[in-house]
Chains A and B, each alone.
Chain A
Amino acid sequence: MYRSLFPRDVFAELDRLQREMQQAFEVSPSIRGFGRGGFPALNVGGAPQSVEIYAFAPGLDPATVDVHLERGVLSLSGERKSTLTAPNEKTIAHINERFAGRFRRVISLPDDIDPNAVTANYRDGVLHISVKRRESAQPRRINIQ
């Protein structure tokens, strides 16, 4: 498999740079270091009853992804195979931007989660992990007697 030795055009490079800048600067960095731009990209949101984690990990076999929750720390790991395998003299990779290889991402969750109420779904290349908050931590209305 040949790789292009020189960039084909300046605009493609600028686009790539723009994409990296976008990923690097748009939101404040996480406490766990320079995770931005890592694979898979993560979105995390909090709802009153749950914490929702979206991992943008397209093209994976969900059976090969490890999701662990230990003491409030959620870790995702697995491997994504390259589509550029099959070494062949007749093929040329012009652009190679997609992630390939082993990955691992770790996020810490809030204290009020219930580690026994976790669900994970993989759909359209997004791994959606939903962690319920503990019953006692959920907002409630207090009646005045």
Chain B
Amino acid sequence: MSEKTVATQETQTPPTEAALLPPVDVVEDSAGITLYADLPGVTKDRLNLRVEADTLTIEGQLNLAMPEGMEASHAEVSLPRYRRVFTLSRELDTEKVSAEFDQGVLMLRIPKTEQAQPRKIAINVA
């Protein structure tokens, strides 16, 4: 099992607008990485996932139905968007990323490339 850094956060991406950092879980198994992110209030059409080179960007806009004339009296979710950026490592196959989004929870599956999958190496005894 490789112990390489798989998904570290990148800080140099210039955030044009302030955004909330959604909490995530990242789990690695021998075949790939699964990422779960909490993005409550984001509809599917306002969720934006991008992989550019080795950077994964998760962005979402909140879309809440609010009655007219509402004034916020207490707000813990105080910005209307989420953003989080991860750097992917080389053994991950960015062509085969799959995503599911259900009730505000994003599940991303990033498999490892064939070459990076673990295999048992037979030891030849002379």
Contact = CB atoms under 8 A, between A and B. Distances in A.
Contact of A27 (B1, B41, B74): B74
Interface stretch (B24-32, B50-58, B108-116): B24-32
B63 A92 contact: no
A8 interface: yes
A89 to B, nearest CB: 9
B36 A99 contact: no
Given A9-B9, A84-B25, A125-B38, A42 B76 contact: yes
Contacts, number: 151
Interface residues of B, number: 46
A18 B77 CA distance: 15
Interface in B12-59: 20-21, 23-30, 36-43
A contacts with B: majority SS: mixed
Given A12-B8, A44-B73, A93 B27 contact: yes
Contacts of A122: 103
A50 to B, nearest CB: 6
B72 interface: yes
